[in-house]
A and B are shown apart, each in its own frame.
Chain A
Amino acid sequence: MLAQYLLRFLAFIFGGYFVFEFFSPQSWKESLQLEKINPVVLNALTTVSAFAVGLGVINLFITHGKRVFGLYRRWFFSLVLLSSFLITTFCGFYSFVYIESRNLQIKFLEALETNSFEVLSIKHPSIARKIFLACPIQDSSCLQILKDQLNREIEQSKSGLVSNIFKVLSEGLLFPLGAAMFSLLAFYIASASYRAFRFRSLFGLVLLASALIVILGQNSLWLSQFEFFLDLRAWLLNNVSMAAFRAITFGALIGGLILAIRIWLGMEKLK
């Protein structure tokens, strides 16, 4: 019972913040400094959602790990999946950590121009230690050489082995395979057009006629040469189709609004 009240209270507070922020007048927003707090709140809430990504990863490992270690049928494909996942993640994170650690050192060196080393080393001890080990702090030419070296290392890493592997995985596999998977739908549309699309009644005929007007209105070879046909297509999309879809949208938006209010007020049971 206490848990239910706690959940309703949390839902009310976190949902209510945005409702309050939207409906409150500008003077209230200024006095409460909502415009400065808002980005922090949004970032924090997005962070909560971002952590849910890990759940998918864990699930992937549990499902495919069972197949690999249990030597189930087609365990090899599960091994390939997990391997490609691990390689992609490793390459991505390795490049990122390599570049970012050097970036931070460069920024520390830039900050030394306006702040003292002692002050900065208290705030960023690990970066200060790396710089201190590489160069005496008083030697500005050594610091400049260090900065140039770090920039060079960053540039070199962009064409290094790990970066190249990541490039092959993303540009050679992820993007083209994604596009190819989506393009399979064209074949299914073709087979559905032949096998399933039957105009046995008035309704089927209306559907087909409407589809034909929309397709042929943007087809170079036929009816689109006649301005009347182009106007007909535009009229259809701007009046009938638009009105019907707007009606559907109203229903969806109002339904969404009702559901959102129910969630905000804790009327939807989440357990």
Chain B
Amino acid sequence: MKLLAIYAGLILAVGVPIFFSFYVRPPLNLAADSFFKNVEETINQGDITFLSFDFGPGTVAENGPQAQVVLEHLLRKKAKVFILSFYALSQPFLVSISKAVEEKLQKEGVFVTYGQDYVIIGFKPSPELFLQSVLGAKDLIELMGRDFRGTPLKDFEIGQSPFDYTAIKAWFQFSGLADMLQTYIRFLETGKKLKLYHGCTSITVPESYIYLDSGQISGLLEGLAGSSWYESLLSKYFPTREPNQRLLLQFTSLTFGQLYIIFLIILGNLLSFFGRD
């Protein structure tokens, strides 16, 4: 019975903001702030960037919004974006997130064309194999071959000019999977040969800081808090843009949920202190 009350309290705490649709402003997140400013200052029109959506249904709650805000930022800056994944269960998100961003931008009159501004490579098995090949390949268009529908990349405008890894301005990787980030760091020799930006789930935030400090990753988005602050920065830099209400709603719920958990910890300890369990 007590357990049910705890569960019901949790649903109430996180559910009330969702069902009554009220929002709080996300607080400053230093890592996301630095990430945004890095992208804003270093990525220019025509720069080649890679986005890896290495997340599935288990972590889409945190990685999905990260991928969405960063993709939107890159497309607004008119960078050339190649979207791929090394996780089989991420395939639907490659299309759904890209489509959602494209539709959002088109509503604002920012026209983005598949095959010209971005292309979805799709799922590539065996990240060790592919990432090692990236550093050795003379033409990455040939290495990637086709998009997720099987159309040769050379048929698209984005695939007209061959390029190697030195032309990649930045690689953005979003994942909550154990060891995935380490695979990129090991086989792409990030920090030395390539700039890697990482969007992680909240669980791996303390772990990711060791790579941020060593320069092996150039930027870090910390779960939902990071993507919420990034979202608010996008609204600040592009004032005509419509904010992502769903993301702000999720962050508001998270805020209340965290306070509820803290309340439970304190309540449990107080009751235990006074001898009642």
Contacts and interface: CB of A to CB of B under 8 A. Distances in A.
Direct contact of A and B (CB under 8 A): yes
Interface of A: 35, 38-39, 42-43, 46, 103, 170-171, 174-176, 178-179, 182-183, 186-187, 189-191, 193-195, 197-199, 208, 212, 215-222, 224-225, 227, 230, 234, 237-238, 241-242, 245-246, 249
B232 to A, nearest CB: 11
* Among all A-B residue pairs, the 10 with the closest Cβ atoms: A224-B27, A178-B57, A218-B225, A220-B24, A179-B57, A194-B268, A175-B57, A42-B129, A194-B264, A242-B209
Interface in B242-265: 251-252, 255, 257-262, 264-265
Contacts, number: 125
Contacts of B209: 237-238, 241-242, 245
Interface string B217-260: 00000100100000000000000000000000001100101111
B43 interface: no
Contact of B264 (A186, A193, A219): A193
A175 B174 CA distance: 18
Contact of B268 (A39, A182, A197): A197
Contacts of B10: 186-187, 190
Contact of B26 (A39, A194, A198, A220): A220
Nearest to B222: A218
A245 B209 CA distance: 9
A53 B22 CA distance: 47
B269 interface: yes
B261 A220 contact: no
21 contacts: A35-B136, A38-B132, A38-B133, A38-B136, A39-B129, A46-B126, A179-B57, A183-B61, A187-B10, A189-B261, A190-B261, A194-B6, A198-B269, A212-B262, A215-B258, A220-B26, A221-B255, A234-B30, A234-B31, A237-B206, A246-B213
B150 interface: yes
B272 interface: yes
A190 B260 contact: yes
Contacts of B126: 42-43, 46
Contact of A241 (B92, B136, B206, B265): B206
Given A220-B25, A230-B28, A242 B213 contact: yes
Interface in B1-53: 3, 6-7, 9-10, 24-31
A175 B29 contact: no
Contacts of A170: 92
B128 interface: yes
A175 B92 contact: yes
A224 B222 CA distance: 15
B210 A199 contact: no
A71 B206 CA distance: 50
B100 interface: no
Nearest to B91: A170
A218 B264 contact: no
Interface string B85-97: 0000100100000
Nearest to A231: B30
A96 to B, nearest CB: 12
A7 to B, nearest CB: 23
Given A197-B268, A208-B265, A42 B132 contact: yes
